[in-house]
Structures are given as C-alpha cells and as structure tokens.
Structure 1
Amino acid sequence: MSCNSDQLPFPCIKCGLCCQRVSLAKETLFLDRGDGTCRYYDPASKGCSIYNERPDICRVDLQFTLHYTHLYTWEHFVELNLVVCCQLIEADESE
C-alpha cells in the first residue's frame, strides 16, 4: 500500500532478488544473515517472513516519502528502482 493514496504502489514482481542481495547496500547490511541474503527472506514464498513489520528501508513507498520527494517524482523514483530490479534479474540469470 502506498503512503500517498494518489500514487500507485510500487510494482514489485516478488522475485525475491533484492532480499537475496542485502549485502550490496550499506543501508541493508544489518539484515544480512551472513550469506548476503536477508535474515527475514522466506525462499518458499520469495517474500518477507515479517512483511507487515519489515524495516523501513524495505518499504519503497516510505523511503520515497522520507528521503526522495524533493529529488524525484514518484514515477521517476519507481523507474529508477525498476532499473535496479532489472539489473538484479539479469545478474541472477547469468549466474
């Protein structure tokens, strides 16, 4: 659900790759269970085992509201995040 009811929610495809690469960003290092994957990642569902209580850094809408509204429109922010999603997918497919 979006923080702003006028914006569409982030179009996550639920691939789980961002959760499997928390060691790539300093902001998410604290979630690393030791192998680069989030300690709350559930491989069966490819999702978060604490989704409703997940950390703020994992909430795309909230991160936009707290840190990026002065830099980007919501649409541009989503576009930038989707570029990273595509990079993660491409890297995963080449492994």
Structure 2
Amino acid sequence: MKKKFKCIQCGICCRNIHLIPELKDFDLGDGVCKYLNTETNLCRIYNHRPEICNVEKSFDNHYNKLYSEEEYLEMNYKGCQLLWKRKKIIK
C-alpha cells in the first residue's frame, strides 16, 4: 500500500467497537476498547493491535482485490465521518 490512512487519533473508532463483531472480546461493555487510553486516545497495544484495526494491513490482506487503494481509504474516511456525526462531533 503506497498511501497511509491519515488517522487524526480522535479515538472515535475505538469508542465504537461494539459495531465490529470481531472485536467483541475487546469491548469493556460500553463499546469502548479496553486498550484505548481515554486520556490520549491512543492504543495501548498499537504495535500488536488486531489486523482489523490496521487500515493498511486490512487492505493488503483482505480488500485489495475488491477495491482500489483510493476507494478503500475513502470508505474508511467516510466511516470516520459517520461516527463523528453519530456522536455529534461534526455537523
């Protein structure tokens, strides 16, 4: 993957893992990942995070035959925007 996903480290995805069945074991019970540092919005296991939490690795290993790199990144950015709107972070 040539481009990187430009994460702004807002933590919104890590606060909504109840929407991702593969991460149910990481959920504190309120949708927040047990590895999210809620003060810094950074992952405590970033270097060892699940593949589903790594946009580039997920693309390379699962989605590169279904989408172009641009399409996949755009879908991920749109997912962020939907979560922001849901939490009323943006209008």
Same structural fold, with TM-score higher than 0.5 when normalized by the shorter chain: yes
2: distance between equivalents of 1:34 and 1:43? Answer: 15
Task: Tell me whether 1:73 sits opposite 2:68 in the alignment.
Answer: yes
Task: Tell me whether 1:92 sits opposite 2:87 in the alignment.
Answer: yes
1: distance between equivalents of 2:61 and 2:24? Answer: 20
1:24 matched to which residue of 2?
19
2:6 matched to which residue of 1?
11
1:44 matched to which residue of 2?
39
Task: Tell me whether 1:34 sits opposite 2:19 in the alignment.
Answer: no
| Runs (4+) off by over 3 Å | none
| RMSD value, Cα | 1.2
2: distance between equivalents of 1:62 and 1:88? Answer: 22
TM-score, structure 1 as length reference: 0.87
2:51 matched to which residue of 1?
56
- How many pairs does the alignment contain? 89
Q: Percent identity?
A: 38
Alpha-carbon deviations, 1:11-32, whole Å to 9, x = none?
1111100000000111222211
Structure 2, unmatched stretches of 5+, are: none
Displacement of 1:54: 1.1
Residue identity matched to 2:58: Q
